Structure 1
Amino acid sequence: MTRIVACALVAVAACKGGAQQARGPEAVPVTVAPVEKKDVPLLIRAIGAVEPIESVQVRSQVAGQLLQVHFREGQEVKKGDLLFTIDPRPYRAALLQAQGALARDNARARDAESNAKRLESLVKKEYVTQQQAESARAEANAAQATLQADDAAVEGARLNLAYCEIRSPITGRTGSVLVKAGNVVKVSDTILVLIDQLRPIYVSFSVPERALPQIRARGRDKLPVLAQPSDQKPGEVPEARAMRGEAQRGELTFIDNAVNTVTGTILLKATFPNGDDSLWPGQYQVVTLTVGEQREAVVAPAVAIQRGQQGLYAFVVKQDGTVESRPVTVGSSDEKEAVIDKGLAPGEIVVTDGQLRLSPGAKVQVKGGAAGSGS
């Protein structure tokens, strides 16, 4: 009896295994989307760097002791704001001395002019010689020249006194104070602080020279540019997955006058309003330049494109409910869509989620559809 029960169990197990083998491997649940043909913006992507439009190294134009710093490090300042004060006492004394010399020589010049006129009237009556009159006129002219030199000396002394107050030449944000109060500074010897203009601001980037004709063809238009923070560095191939944060909108404002013969690229700069200071000098950005529109482009969801050892590929769902791995060539892409230059055709169905469990020939079940469905 025991032997009969054992044989029955073995038979039941064999039947279950045979039924499961007959059904084949379980279908992998996936989500899919169709490949489409539509008009898309013609984009050029590159990694760029944020840089200030103006960056000023503030230096002293007079020598002396630095008495006071009038701002905090990192503070935003406006053009004309007082930044530093140099000890003005030596320059105030020099101004008073120059003004005294001017007053003295002014009196001498008036006396010399009066004497010259008097002798010029007397020479007509032959009371003095012609030589005496000419000498008096020469002395008067020399006194006038001395007076002009004194005027220049007063203006120079007044200017040096004004230089004791160092004011911001631009509106921007200050960096670290490099010289503290109490130190003695020399003329143009030491950088006191660096000021960067942040609004508006540049993002500079380089594109291949083959893109130059497209850009120049729309040179009179204000080409739109998007900038989005990235973990990549200039020279690397931009990738949508490296982008983070919100994109800032600007426009192309500068095209360099020569192609870099070493890299074969051309330098461009885009200007951004940067009203919220989201762009900061030194940051790397993924820059997207729109140069036109590509009509009837083949477009697939960006998440459908996978990267393997052989390059980019996508899983295409066939009519029998299985998938094939199809190599693709991507012309451009963003975080949502990829323009396919080669490998996919409009109307084909590609897998957008669940690729990790797939292999060529695997059966799929579209989420929300029947097992093995290809649509």
Structure 2
Amino acid sequence: MVRRVTVIVGVLAIGLAIAGYVFFNGERKPPVRYRTVPVERGTLISLVTATGTINPITTIQVGSQVSGMIESLHADFNSSVKAGQVVARIDPFPYQARRDQAAASLANTKAAFDKAQIEQAQKRRELDRAKALIGQQFVSQNEVDVALTAYEGAVAQVKVTQAAVKQAEAMLQAAELDLKYTVIRSPVDGVVISRQVEVGQRISASFSIPTLFLIAEKVTKMQVDTNVSEADIGGVAEGKDASFTVDAYPGEVFHGRVRQVRNAPINVQNVVTYDVVVECENPGFRLKPGMTANVSIVVAKRDQALKVPTAALRFTPPTQAKSGGNTPPASMGRRRVLWRQGVDQELEAVTVEVGISDGAYAEVVTPDLNEGDAVVIGLDAQRGERKGAELPPGFGGGQRGSRRDRGL
């Protein structure tokens, strides 16, 4: 009997010990800990990022207004040219022949004009003689009328030949102009970006002007054509500072300024963007046309702004998320709720108005928050928890080694 009581008491003692261990160690939850950061003051810069292409500010297409065979080229890729400099010549022989033909035709019409004037003078004399003789009744009235008609015909012939002279002069001017167009000259100072013809190639200007060269004017200045989304275009305006990088020069930042915000929308698969032109300096022609640029446009800048990490604006305490609580909602337009940890480690809700943001930090405006206050950005790891990889063997939670590892 005594032995049985002893066994029962021992079993009860062991059970109580296990229950106590489980109660005080297994079921006790460690306190919730929060990760906090201090509120800071500093400079905030809000940026709009976009991708664009570098282009010359002005690109001139140099073409030919006459058809013919390319006789010679006087410029090539990357050639620096001046305004009026000869860059190509078209075979001038056909146009010289047309010019000579037009000159001969003009000389012929001038001779005809001179002859018509002489005939007009003769008809005038005959008319005057007939009028003088009719008074003496040496000629009839019919002869006077015939002389008058002949004189009027001579006057009309003078006008016809005079118009023919003007027409011949215009044809000669056109022929000389076509001959002049056989010499292709650069209209501006710049650099040849592209040459699209070869010597001996025949070009035709029947329906459109063929392009011979592409010349970039003022290559010391370039522009970046970027596409900014409609959600970001509201903060972009002419005169805003901008910076960009290109793959050709890693780590180097180029600076420019917004020169134009074009109002024409660009719709690609229902995505609306707007062309923003950024002008920049290009000493030494380091930036080449067609390079891809990653552009950042400064939309707003604040000095000595009260700022917090954006994670603090997104944080909600676990108990508040489960129960709903009585605090204001986390988002109310530009107003947000921050959680500040007081001296007693308790959380306090602080309503702030959010200003500009650079993606990592955001400006907050409120009289209830001061520099150095600790705001919560997330939950800290529970100290009482043990990771599965740190559990003793046989308690599970960790990944079992592969067969190859166990074999080794």
- Alignment TM class, shorter chain as reference: 0.5 to 0.7
Residue 204, structure 1, aligned to residue 225, structure 2: yes
Is 1:51 the counterpart of 2:55? The answer is yes
Determine the structure 2 residue equivalent to 1:268. Answer: 276
2:307 equivalent in structure 1: 298
Greater displacement, 48-57 / 139-148:
48-57
Kept after mapping to 2: 8 A contact 1:66/1:87 = yes
Compute the displacement of 1:292 (Å): 3.4
- Do the aligned residues in 1 keep the contact of 2:72 with 2:88 (CA within 8 Å)? yes
Which shifted more, 189-198 or 58-67?
Answer: 189-198
TM-score normalized with structure 2 length: 0.57
2:242 counterpart (225, 229, 236): 225
1:332 correspondence with 2:358: yes
* Aligned partner (choices 79, 86, 97) of residue 101 of structure 2: 97
Instruction: Provide, for residues 337-373 of structure 1, a one-character-per-residue CA deviation record: whole Å limited to 9, x for no partner.
Output: x53479xx96489xxxxxxxxx9689xxxxxxxxxxx
* 1:200-221 C-alpha deviation (Å, 9 max, x unpaired): 32211122324444335xx5xx
- Say yes or no: does 1:182 pair with 2:208: no
Letter in 2 for 1:289: I
Q: Which runs of 5+ in 2 are unaligned?
A: 1-36, 132-143, 310-340, 342-355, 365-369, 375-379, 384-408
**Identity, % of aligned positions:** 25
Is 2:283 aligned against 1:256?
Answer: no
CA deviations 1:53-101 (Å, max 9, x no partner) are 3333433322322221112322222332211111112212221221121
CA distance in 1, matches of 2:231, 2:128: 87
Instruction: Please say if residues 357 and 363 of structure 2, whose CA atoms lie closer than 8 Å, have aligned partners that are also in contact.
Output: yes
User: Does residue 279 of the first structure (1) align with residue 301 of the second (2)?
Assistant: no
- RMSD (Å), alpha carbons: 3.7
- Distance (Å, rounded) in 2 between the aligned partners of 1:361 and 1:348: 23
Give me the whole-angstrom Cα distance separating, in 2, the residues matched to 1:189 and 1:249. Answer: 35
Equivalent position of 2:235 in the other structure: 214
Return the offset for 1:268: 1.2
The aligned amino acid for 2:200 is G
Q: In 2 relative to 1, CA 121–272 (structure 1 residues): closer, same or farther, beyond 3 Å? A: farther
Q: CA deviation at 1:280?
A: 1.6
Q: 1:294 to 1:148 in 2, by over 3 A?
A: same
User: Partner residue of 1:247?
Assistant: 254
TM-score (norm 1): 0.62
Structure 1 equivalent of residue 163 of structure 2: 145
Matched, 1:66 2:83: no
Distance, in Å, in 2 between the alignment partners of 1:272 and 1:121 is 80
TM superposition shift of 1:106: 1.5
Alpha-carbon distance in 1 for matches of 2:265, 2:161:
58
Larger radius of gyration: 2
User: Which amino acid in the other structure matches residue 307 of structure 2?
Assistant: V
Matching residue's letter, 2:254 = A
After TM superposition, give the deviation of residue 191 of structure 1 in Å. Answer: 3.8
2:95 aligned with 1:75: no
Higher mean C-alpha displacement, 281-290 vs 51-60: 51-60
Give secondary structure in 2 for the equivalent of 1:256.
strand
Q: Which runs of 5+ in 1 are unaligned?
A: 1-32, 232-241, 301-317, 319-329, 350-358, 363-375
